[in-house]
Amino acid sequence: MTIAATQASPAQDASHGGHAVTARTELEEFRASVRRMVDDRIRPHAAETDRTGTVPEHSRAAFREMELAGLAFPEELGGSGADLHTQVIAVEEVARGCASSASILLTPWAALTPVAVHADPALAATVVPGVARGDELASFCLTEPTGGTDLASLRTRAERVDGGWLLNGQKRFISNAGHSTWYAVLARSGADSSYGVFLVHAGDEGLGFGKPEEKMGFHGFPTADVHLDDVFVPDGHVVGDPARGYQYMMDTLTYTRPLVAAQALGIAQAALDEALAYTAQREQFGQSLSRFQLVRAMVADMATAVAAGRALLHHACDLAVENTSASRAAVSMAKLFCSDTAMSVTTTAVQLHGGNGYMRDYTVERLMRDAKVTQIWEGANELQKMLVAKDAYAAHERR
Ligand SMILES: Cc1cc2nc3c(=O)[nH]c(=O)nc-3n(C[C@H](O)[C@H](O)[C@H](O)COP(=O)(O)OP(=O)(O)OC[C@H]3O[C@@H](n4cnc5c(N)ncnc54)[C@H](O)[C@@H]3O)c2cc1C
C-alpha cells in the first residue's frame, strides 16, 4: 500500500511550512490496514521476539511489503512522503503489536531526517533510498557516556583534515548499532561550540561497537555503544553546514518526539486491550471482574488517558511542522503525556491481571517493561517538562 504525499513532512520540507492535512477517513482506513497487517504478521511473534532478543526480521519484511519504511521520506528519495499524522498512526499500530518492531521502523526516520532535509541532494540520494525501501537501517548518534540530557556537553570531536574530517569519540546506548548501514553522528566541529552531523558508513575504518546491552525491555531492538577511532568522513558525507549540526538535530527532535509518543501510546492501547479482555473473562466472588465498580473506574481512567494522549499527539502533529516555541512545547507535552500514560496504564493492567500479570506468560508483563524507557529516551520527561514550562512562561509574558 502506498500513502499519497498529501502533506510535507519535516523530512521533505526544510521550511516546515504550508501543508494540507490528510483526510480523516483516509487516515482511519490507513490505521485499519496497518492494524490488520500487525495482527497477522507482527503481534503473533512479539512474545518470541522479547524472549529471544532477536531483531524482528519478519517485521522488517512486512514493512517492506507494505512500503512503511519509506513513509517519512519524500518520493524523490524513494519514500512516500506521508504526513506526520500518517507516520504516528503507523508507529502506534505497530507498537500496539510489538514495541521493538515500532522502534525498528521509526529509528531510521529519526536518523536520516537531517539528511533528507539538510544534506546535499547527491548525499541524500546515496543514503536515503536503501533505508526508505526498508533494505537498510540507520542510527541516530547523540548520547555519550557523559550524558544524554545535557547534549551540549558532548565530547566526540571532528577534526578538519585534507578532503574531510576525522572523528574520535564514543556514543552511548545507540539503537540499531551494529545493524545499521548509516550512522548520523553529532560531533564537535570547531573550537567554539559548533557541531556538525557526520554520516559514517558501516564499512568505514575505525568504526566499532560495544557489547549488546541487556535491557529491561525492548529486547528485539538492539542497543550498543558506538566507538569512533580516527574515522575518516569525506566532505561529501557531511550533512549541510558542519557548524549547524546541533540545530539540525534539535529540529529533528521536534519531529521525532511525536513518533516516540505514538509508540508509547501503542503500548498503552495494547495494555488497555489486554485489561479489558482479562477483566471481562476473569471471575471473582461469583462475577466477572468487569462488573466491580472499582475495576470499572480503573478501566475508565486508562481509556480516558489513552484517548487524551491520542488527541494531544495529533494536535502536536498539526503544530510540529511550524517549529516554533509553542509547537516544540506541544510536541514535548505529547511525548511527556503519552509516555507517562504508557507507564501508568501498563502498571494498572498488570494490577488488574493479579498474580498472572506478574508472569511472563501474560502480555502485560512485557508491556510494562517496554513502557518504562519511553519516559527516558528522546529526552527524559524532566527535560520535556523544562521545555513546556519555558514556553508557558514565555507565552505568559507575551500576553
Ligand atoms: C534503550 C535505549 C535506547 C537509546 N537509543 C538512543 C539512540 O539511538 N541515540 C541516542 O543518541 N541516544 C539513545 N538513547 C539515550 C537516551 O536518549 C538517553 O538515555 C536519555 O536522553 C537520557 O540521558 P542519560 O541516560 O545520559 O541520562 P542523564 O542525562 O544522566 O539524566 C539522568 C536522569 O536525570 C534526570 N535529569 C537530567 N537532567 C535533568 C534536569 N536538568 N532537571 C531535572 N532532571 C534531570 C532525568 O530524570 C534523567 O532521566 C537510548 C537510551 C536507551 C535507554
Ligand 1 atom nearest residue 149's Cα: 29
- Does ligand 1 have an atom closer than 6 angstroms to the CB of 376? yes
Q: Which domains does the chain have, with CATH numbers?
A: 24-136 (1.10.540.10), 139-243 (2.40.110.10), 246-398 (1.20.140.10)
Pocket test for ligand 1, best of 221, 376, 381 (most atoms within 8 A of CB): 376
| Strand 195-201 with 238-239, pairing | antiparallel
Q: Which residues are catalytic?
A: 378
| Strand 283-284 with 207-209, pairing | unpaired
Nearest residue (by CA) to ligand 1, atom 42, is: 382
> How far away, in angstroms, is 34 Cα from ligand 1 center?
31
pLDDT of the residue at 363: 98
Residue 17: is its pLDDT beyond 50?
no
Helix (H) or strand (E) run with residue 140 in it: strand 138-141
pLDDT of the residue at 21: 60
| Strand 164-175 with 157-161, pairing | antiparallel
Q: Angle, nearest 10°, between helix axes 293-320 and 325-352?
A: 160
Residues 6+ apart with CB under 8 A from 226: 139, 141, 170, 171, 174, 177, 183, 185, 207, 208, 209, 210
**Beta-carbon neighbour count of residue 133 at 10 Å?**
16
User: What digits encode the pLDDT tens for the residues 322-338?
Assistant: 889 999 999 999 999 99
Residue 211: is its pLDDT beyond 80?
yes
With 0.85 as the threshold, say if the pTM is over it: yes
Distance of CA 282 to the CA centre of its chain: 35
**Mean pLDDT estimate for the chain:** 94
Residue 176: is its pLDDT beyond 60?
yes
**Average pLDDT rounded to a whole number, residues 179-205:** 95
Ligand 1 atom nearest residue 171's Cα: 11
Ligand 1 atom nearest residue 146's Cα: 26
- Does ligand 1 have an atom closer than 6 angstroms to the CB of 373? yes
> How far away, in angstroms, is 75 Cα from ligand 1 center?
33
User: What digits encode the pLDDT tens for the residues 72-93?
Assistant: 999 999 999 999 999 999 999 9
- Does ligand 1 have an atom closer than 6 angstroms to the CB of 143? yes
pLDDT of the residue at 193: 80
User: What digits encode the pLDDT tens for the residues 267-288?
Assistant: 999 999 999 999 999 999 999 9
Specify the 3-state DSSP secondary structure of 226.
Answer: strand
- Is the Cβ–Cβ distance between 60 and 104 less than 8 Å? yes
For the chain, the residue count is 399
**Average pLDDT rounded to a whole number, residues 249-271:** 96
User: What digits encode the pLDDT tens for the residues 84-128?
Assistant: 999 999 999 999 999 999 999 999 999 999 999 999 999 999 999
Read off the pLDDT band of 316 (50, 70, 90): very high
What would the grid cell of residue 387 be? 521545555
Q: Partners of 223 in the beta sheet?
A: 175
- Is the Cβ–Cβ distance between 7 and 83 less than 8 Å? yes
For CA atoms 42, 44, 50, 52, the dihedral sign is negative
> How far away, in angstroms, is 335 Cα from ligand 1 center?
14
Read off the pLDDT band of 141 (50, 70, 90): very high
User: What digits encode the pLDDT tens for the residues 226-238?
Assistant: 999 999 999 999 9
| Nearest one of 249, 261, 242 to 317, comparing CA atoms | 261
pLDDT of the residue at 24: 87
- Is the Cβ–Cβ distance between 107 and 60 less than 8 Å? no
Specify the 3-state DSSP secondary structure of 56.
Answer: coil
